Amino acid sequence: MYCESIVRKNYSVLKVYGCDKGKKIKVVTIGALNLLPNTITKKHSKKGTVNDEKLAENVSRAKNKIFEYAYCNPWDWFFTGTLNPQKYDRTDLEIYHKKFVVWLRDYNKKHGLKIKFLLIPELHKDGKSWHMHGFLYGLPVEHLEQFKLGATMGKGVADKVKKGDVVYNWVAYANKFGFCDLEPISCHEAVSKYITKYINKSLANSVTELNAHMYYVSRGLNCAETVKQGTLFANIEYDYVNEYCKIAWFDYSEELLQKLENAFC
Same domain for 88 and 37? no
- Strand-pair category, 130-137 with 240-241: unpaired
Same domain for 102 and 159? yes
**Domain contains 248:** yes
Percent of the chain with pLDDT over 70: 89
What is the span of the domain harbouring residue 115?
77-217
Provide the pLDDT for residue 124: 83
Same domain for 114 and 166? yes
Say which DSSP state 229 is in: E
pLDDT band at residue 3 under the 50/70/90 scheme: very low
Could you give the CA distance from residue 265 to residue 245 in angstroms, rounded to a whole number? 19
Residue-wise pLDDT for 208-262, tens only, equals: 777 778 899 999 999 999 999 999 998 899 998 888 889 999 999 999 999 999 9
SS3 content of the chain, % helix, strand, coil (to 5): 35, 30, 40
Could you give the CA distance from residue 209 to residue 119 in angstroms, rounded to a whole number? 19
List Cβ neighbours of 241 (8 Å cut-off, separation of 6 or more).
247
Q: What is the count of structural domains for the chain?
A: 2
Say which DSSP state 224 is in: P
18's torsion region: left (phi>0), alpha (psi -120 to 50) or beta? left
Same domain for 207 and 108? yes
List Cβ neighbours of 144 (8 Å cut-off, separation of 6 or more).
168, 169, 170, 171, 182
**Domain contains 2:** no
Same domain for 104 and 183? yes
Say which DSSP state 218 is in: -
Same domain for 180 and 98? yes
pLDDT band at residue 184 under the 50/70/90 scheme: very high
* CA contacts within 13 A on the Cβ side of 67: 17
Same domain for 154 and 197? yes
Provide the pLDDT for residue 45: 42
**What is the average per-residue pLDDT within 80-84?**
93
Helix (H) or strand (E) holding 255: helix 254-262
CA-CA distances (angstroms) from residue 9 to 106, 139, 160, 175, 233?
A: 50, 46, 51, 56, 13
